[in-house]
Structure formats: structure tokens, C-alpha cells
Structure 1
Amino acid sequence: MKRVKGTGLLMLMLAFIVVLSACGSSNGNSKENAASNSAGVKITLLNSKGEIQTQLEDAAKAFHEDNPDITLEIQAVPNGGSPFERASTLYASGNPPTMIMLDTGDVEKFKDRVLDLSGEKWNADTVANATDLTTFDGKNYAFPLAVEGYGFIYNKAVLDKAVGGTFDPATINTTDSLEKLFQQIEASGSKALVVSPMDWSLGAHYLPLAYAGQNKDMAEVNKFVDGLRAGTVQLGDNAVFNGLMDTFDVMMKYNIDQASPLAGVYERGPELLGKGEVGIWFMGNWAWPQINSFDTANGAYGFLPVPVSNNPTDYGNQEISSAVSKRIVIDKEKSTPEQQAAAKKFLEWIVYQDKGQDFLVNKASIIPAFKNITLPAADPLGKSLQDYIAIDRSEQSMSVLPADHWSILGASMQKYLSKAGDRALLVKEIEEYWKTAK
């Protein structure tokens, strides 16, 4: 290599500086762009199903293996937090994720900030009515991620022992038959059930059974809710509401945590049920991964309906609540066209690729909202829910409720659970809430 001396060296140095300056000015932050180009496209997903955080992170890695130019980061909604509130906060900060997992009722609130997904291939493969509640002016704004259901989850081994034989779930179709089962469980040496006191469980799942249970026709359910808004419904005189709360009274009576009913946390439920310390837990099929982690006996589990009367033929006494519960939307305000395309590719990967379907059904224990996915439910709760749906024993869940319903009325239910308020106060607070609900 020759040495360059004197003026020649100076000119060479100046030329090198000019080249560097030109590169920097043409690309803004050259380091950031270099990193971005080497990493490909980075996208983010805000996850509001905390129980599948690990599974989603594994899915992100599998997706990256199939698409090396796309990196997917899974962000979590804080435990017990509202996906609507978290997403709103991120938008306010100017840093929304590329994809947001929302509850069905929250999609409309974001429809002006997210992509119209009507043209995506998977729309043609959804199960019946899967996109109805996220379609506005003929445009669908959300990807239906999961069909979920909830009711009383039972540990079959505990119930078999309690009844002295093979437990038949069809025998539980009234409040009285449920209480008799509780008594049998306790007589056999286990506790009957655990009542999880989280506001989202009480306010988003249990209480809405009083609305959905009014009628199999959702149009009639909507009229009932409209009556609550208008103040024309006298909830204290409503048979379904009172029947549901009569069942809740029985639950409170046999609750393993009755001495401190608000002390329990979500994680306590699957542990008690999975270990067989209780026979029943009010929760949904999303809880299977946690139950399974505590079940060392590889036992059997299933769902029981939540009775609302002592007439077995009354609607709700033999039905399990279910619906498409979680939706994914794609941001259009801050995400780039490349990020939007990558997000769409991830959603297609879930629906049409073997790894994506495996994540959904086998890893995350989700019942798909797509008829092309024919994998059988990988867990007993998913199978139990599918069985109820197959024989038309499903009750449409209340997927569209005001965003603050679970926090405000969940707190009202917590008062009732802890005996800090009676049924009259609960009725008053529910009726007052609906008169001003947005």
C-alpha cells in the first residue's frame, strides 16, 4: 500500500468527510437506518390475553423463522388491565403498537385509527357471524382471533368421587342440583369451589349472564339492555337476574375463600382446581394452560352451565356462554406500509400455515373462528365447549359492553361478594350505571 503525503493526504481526507456527510444527510439517522435495514421490518402486537403471553412469544419466533425479514415483538397489557385503556394510552403517547388485541366491543372505538381488513383472504373462511360485530358501513376492521366460552369448570375426578361413580354433567341444570353437588363434593373431602374475585371475571363474565340469559334471540337481549339505558327495566323484579344472583349466593356459601372473599387472585383458581382441592371454578376455556400446569394426574375436565332457576327447561340452565371474544386490529396512523403488510402476513400465517394453526389450537388452546382450521380442540375445555356448540346448547356472550362495565360493575359485584352491600344496593348501582353508560 502506498503512502499519501502532503496535499494529497489532506484532499483525500476532505473527500472522505464529504462522502460521510452526504450519506448522513440523505438518510437522516444513518445508524438507525442501517440497523433497520439489517433487521428487516419490526412489528409489535399488544396482547390482552395474558394467559397466552408465552405461547405468543413462541409463535413470534416461529413466524420469524418462516419470515426472516420480519421481527415480531409481543407486548403485554398489564395484568388485570383494560386493553382499551392501554391502547388509548399508547395512542396518546404517539407510540401505538402495529397490532392490538382488543375485546370485541372496543373495536368500533378504534375504527378510524385502524385498517379496513375487508379485503383480506381470511374473511371468506370465518365461521358464521364471526365478523358481524366488527363490521361498520360494510367494512370489517378486525381479525377474529378466538372463540371463547365460560361457565363452571369441573375436575371430573373430584366429582366422580363426590357422586360415587361416573359424574354426568347433564344432571346439573338447576340451582338446587348445583347446590346438592356442592354438598356432595364437600362430603367427599374436597371443597366445592373457588370464586375468583377479579373485577373482570365478575363484571365482564358473571354479571353479563343476566343480560344474555334474557332470551336466545339477541335482538330481545339488546332490547333489554336498551331498557336498562332508558331506566324502564326494573332489575329487582327480573327473574333471570334474581335467579343468577341466587346461584351466586350459593357460590358464596360454598366458596373456599369465604373468610376473605376478595383476597384471591387469578392464579389461585387453576391451582386449586388442577390439584383437586376444589371441584369447580367459574372461569373460561382460556384458563386451560394454567389448569394443566397444576394437573399432575392428566385428569378430565369440562363445563357446567350456570343455572338461573329451578326449572331445568329455562333458557340458560343447560347452555354455555360463548362467542368470538378477542380481535386483532392493525394500526394505520403510525405504522408504515411495510409494517402493515407484515402484520397482515402474520394474521394469514395464523390461519393458513401449519405452524400458525398449531400455535392457535394446540399451543394456545384457542378455538379458532375459521372453518378451514379443522384441528380438533387440543384440550378438554375446548372440546367441552365445542360439544355444547354442536348440540345448540350455547348462549351468545355479551361481546359488546361499555369499556368501563367490568371495572365499575365488577366493583359492585365485589361489594356483594364481600357482603359490603346487599342485592338492593347491587340493583341500584347496576341501574344507575346503565342510565349514564356510554
Structure 2
Amino acid sequence: MSHISRLFIVSIIVALFAAPALAADQPAVDWSKQLGQEGGAYISASPLYNNGILYVCSWDGTVYGLQTMNGAPLWKFRVGVNVYSTPVYKDSTLYVGSSNGTFYAIETLYGKEKWRFRALSNVDSTPLLMNGIVFVGSDDNRVYALDPGTGSEIWNVSVGSGISTALEDYDNIVYAGTSDGSLVAIEPNFGKIKWSTKVGERAYSPLANDGTIYVGTYDGYLVSVDQYQGSINWKGQAGGAISSKPVYYGGNIYIGSWDGKLYCFNASNGRVAWTYTTYGPIKAAPLIDKGKGIIYVGSGDEYLYAIDARSGGLYWKFQADSPVSSTPITVNDRLYFSSYGTSASGGTVYALTLPDTLTLITPTPAPTVAPTPTVAPTSTPVVVTYVPSATPDPSWCPLPGLLAVMLGAFALVTYRRR
């Protein structure tokens, strides 16, 4: 055997040893499924999982029930117009709205219609199920309370402006963010408005936690509002619009912004603990794995990121085929999410097997040091000025490559001594 042949074999062996070190902490693709092959069949809604079925809504006018084993459709329900929002599930029924104002109840065994309700404008918001009632927000400025079994209207109330984002409930109150920038609290039995507070240019999906409502705005604020009075506690500012629902974990609020950053705000005072910078707008809510302390968040740069919730350091990122504008979900050791799509093709649904081990591959950002803002006793907006957070920059980890070089050199020296 020639000298070159022996070196080639040694190189192959070294590469085989080094390859697992490069891929061990990365997710693996189980399957991917493109939905709506025609151009512009985007997916902006987040997938929903229940009992072995993945439900996905597309701009191609279809609600899909997919097998989680391989992504093959079990059934397709044709709406015929764009479906922007994430559905909700209850008692073998899927509830979802559409862009022509029609709200549907779909039985989930065969994907057949149970009933429909017609609002006066688009129903692009994610509905809410509470106390045996389904609550629906519409761009016709109203919130509707419907009987989930029949679709008959119980009441409706005008909130003064359109609703195109998810409703929230807490302590037997329904909360809605409106297009005129108001956060509205509604009594659910008769539809009486308890209070309405102006929070910004446009208010998106609220989050309720421990007596506080958190909501993002188009003009780039995360606003903390008292649940009982509607008064503003504090306002924290991002560098772009905050259009998704905040997430609470471990005393912090996590939210993405159109400036491409994931923010970690202190829930009690609005101080920024850290930020992580991506290279595209973040328009969907992050997902928190509370058991592992990991944040999964998609970006307009076509990547899905896994980030440490405490430090803001990066574990891994996965590249999709187009921007990721939906919230992922996890079921056991698998993660599901969808890409938005392009003008030439529809969005794609991905199923990833999560890695067994996790290693931070970027340095963690330094915490922000700033004085605690003064708590506002009234609903007067309080804007907090912060010292800019440090953001992590991707860095190359040289350990696998150094290992490969050292093993190759050792093999070469051994061969020459012979």
C-alpha cells in the first residue's frame, strides 16, 4: 500500500471520529412536508398538536390534519380563503377563523364541518375557550361569545377597534389587544367592559400572569398593566415592533421584536437582562421548555434558534427553507414548526428530533446594569430608559477540528517510526 493511500485511510478514520463531535448537539430532521405548492400559500399560524395529529392552517385556504409519524395528511378541510391564525382544540373539535369573517368548528376525526358563524369582518385572531364558551375576536371591532356546541351567539361587545391577535383569559376575565393600541378587559358572562387602557400604537396578543397583563405594541414597547385597575406599571422598549405574545418563565418575560432581537425583560420592573440578536425580524412568540430552561424562537433570517433562558447563550440553530414566523411546539423529544414559504412555493412543516446533549456554542451576553424604574401608581405611561444590552455574536468552536489534527499527526508519526 502506498504512502498516500495509508494517509488517506488515516484521514478517513480521523474524520469518522471527529464527525459525531460536530453533530451530537444538533437536531435531526425526521421529516418535512411542504403544504400548498402554489405560490403565496404561506403559513403564518403556529401548528397545534393533539392526540397524534398535527393541525396546520395555510394561506392556501386549507386546514390540514397531519400524521405526526411522517407528515402525511389525514384530511384536508377547505375554507377557500386565507387562514392566518392558530386553531384551538376541545373535545374532538377544532375552532378556527378565516379572512372572510367565517368562523368554523371542525370535527377532528374526518375533518368535517360541524357549524360555522359569520362575523362582519376578518376573523384572524386565535380564539379562546373558557367556561364552556368560545370567544372570538374580529376586525369588525367586536368580541363574540359563542356556544361551542352549536355556534349560536351568546353576546357580542364592541371594543372600539379591530382585533387580529390572540385573546387571553385570567381570573375569569377576557383580555384583548386592539388595532388602536388599547388593552381591553371584558367580563365573560355578559360581555361588559371592565376597563380599557391605551398602551401604544397597536396592541397585540396579551399574556396574563400573577395579577399582571403583559402586552407588546407596534411602536416597540412591552407594557406591564395591572390586572384589576388597568393602570400601567412600566413600559420597556425594544428597537422594533413587538407583535407576538410574551412568554413568562422564572421571573422574566421573553419576547421577540422586529429589530431581530430576542429580549429577556425582568417581569417586576421591566429591566432588560439580556438580548440575543438574529438577522431577521422575530414575529412569532418563543416557546419555553421549562424543564430544560431552553427558549426556541424562529426568525426572518430562516433559522430556528435554541437559546439558554438564563444566560441568552446559543445552543444550536437550524436553517429552514424560508423565514420562520410561527411558534414551535414540542412533544416528547420532537419539535414541530413551520416556515413561512416564498412567492414561488408554500410553507413547510418540519419535525425535528431534539439532541440528547446541549453545549453552548456562543459566549453568553453580559447582564444589563440599569437602575430599577419607578413604578407608576396610575395609568400614565412610564417609559423606562435602559443601558443597551450586550448581544452574543456567533463564534466558531475549534475543538473538533483540533482533535482531528492531533489524531492525524499522531497516526502519521506512528507510521513513520515503523
Shorter-chain TM-score category? under 0.3
Higher relative contact order by CA 8 Å / sep ≥ 6: 1 or 2?
1
| Structure ranking higher in helix proportion | 1
TM-score (norm 2): 0.22
| Structure ranking higher in strand proportion | 2
